[in-house]
Structure 1
Amino acid sequence: MWESKQLGVPVDRVDWCHGSAGRIDEGCRVDCWVRVDKESVREARFEVFGGPEAMQAAAWLADWLADRSVASALTVTGRWLAEAAALPDEARTVALDIEDALRSALAASTEVIDGANDEH
């Protein structure tokens, strides 16, 4: 059984960047919150409106992201996450929502915008 304190909205949202993906009416919505310091993801949290597989994968990824470089975070793909979190085949699409929410949150970070990402 998995368990993570990285699920849910941060209590104090100061210095957190937010992104979201998916739709509840389509079975899964994910909100991602990241705290980026220089070139590292200091902490990540996910608020998941979906089944247990989505929560499992989001919790696993939040734990994995802690203190990783932004460059490492930007390599996360839905396929990689589905395999790393051992999602069953029928639940692998939730990993795409998690990936998209993470990318959206990272794109909202001024640290990423000013330092590691030339697209913005």
Structure 2
Amino acid sequence: MTDAHAPGWLPRFLAPRHALAECDIIEWHGDGVADTPGADARCRLRVEIDTRGDAPRIRRAVFSVFGPPVAVACADWACEWLGDRTIDAARGLMVEDFEQALALAPGERYAALLVIDALASVLVNLGS
């Protein structure tokens, strides 16, 4: 595959910046998990919340993914996007945001849905 034909999400898969490290011992405020119907992909998101100010904000988010490279790329992008966003803004994250940011092909939408489902789980676990 030449660079001109590489998927838009490939650089993020090759160098994710928000993957959860085993040695990361911070106390996370929210944790959510989702998987695909065939259980061939699983995503876990964890968030750290900043409650100072008018509205709680997601200070930091990290992920772990078992699945294809596009799922890793989607989770990494979402964690970057979530940083310093309000909980309400997080609820508004849509598949179209992933498609635009990562140039997802129609057959790759499931990876964005997987991450959105994990985020919904996080928000439920936060009591939001």
TM-score tier, shorter chain, comes to: 0.7 to 0.9
C-alpha RMSD over aligned residues:
2.0
Q: CA deviation at 1:24?
A: 8.7
TM-score, with structure 2 as normaliser: 0.76
Contact 1:9–1:33, Cα closer than 8 Å, also in 2:
no
Contact 1:30–1:97, Cα closer than 8 Å, also in 2:
yes
* Percent of pairs with identical residues: 28
2:95 and 2:65 map into 1 onto residues whose CA distance is 15
Contact 2:42–2:65, Cα closer than 8 Å, also in 1:
yes
Note the alpha carbon deviations across 1:50-102, whole angstroms, 9 max, x for none: 11111111111111111111111110123432333222222111111100101
Match of 1:21 among 34, 46, 54: 34
Is residue 86 of structure 1 aligned with residue 99 of structure 2? no
Structure 2 residue identity aligned to 1:61: A
TM-score, with structure 1 as normaliser: 0.80
Larger Rg: 2
Q: How does 1:26-65 map to 2 (within 5 A)?
A: 26-38=39-51, 39-65=56-82
Structure 1 stretches of 5 or more lacking a match? none
2:75 and 2:28 map into 1 onto residues whose CA distance is 21
Moved over 6 A (4+): none
